Amino acid sequence: MQKVDVLNKISKNGIMAVIRGKSEEIAYKTAVSCIIGGIKGIEVTFTAPNADKIICKLKEDYPNDTELCIGAGTVLDSVSARIAIMAGADFIVSPSFNKEVALLCNLYQVPYIPGCMTVTEIQTAMTYGADIVKVFPGKILGKDFVSAVKAPLPQVNIMPTGGVSIDNMQEWFDKGVVAVGAGSNLTAPADEGDYDKVIENARDYCNEFEEISSAKIK
């Protein structure tokens, strides 16, 4: 999948499901539940056991879904990044910026989305080719941080993660973000084995994003 195609799909899909899990099975089932619910951006974090195998299996299970983007999250080093890319990851997400990861992703033409907390970090990430930066943790930095950053850097594409919910999605997009990362607010029921609730949550997120997108068009 070409880098520009992945970036366009992330923006079009609007929602990135952040998949964790105490076991490979739980993480996999959580990801599948989000997909069934309509979410097309899936970030399998490397805190989940055998995350690379989960990515590989998801890619094998959904070969014909042209809108689906499956990537790796919590990637801390270039070794993990390469493992994820070899498993078929469409994008790489990190909680912080790492120069070696950025260079590796550029080499393989895979989008790199690093977590940043300051304008300096964001500028550095952009210099090393990050097309989207993850404002993290979003709950602490807040929505006004997006406005403050986009004043001197209007060209930056921002995806907040942490503290994003259905109730505040509209506010984030009003600030100009290109997508949002949804974690425990979306997937928490999976911890109790309630995957039907995860599917329901995913549908609610997708419906809310559709309403936000429709309002923008009007």
Catalytic residue numbers, as ranges: 43, 134
- Asked if 187 and 36 touch (Cβ cutoff 8 Å), the reply is no
* Token pair listed for 213: 């997108």
Give residue 80's Cα distance to chain centre: 17
133/117 Cα distance (integer angstroms): 10
Cβ count near 123 (within 10 Å): 15
- Asked if 128 and 104 touch (Cβ cutoff 8 Å), the reply is no
Single-letter residue type at 190: A
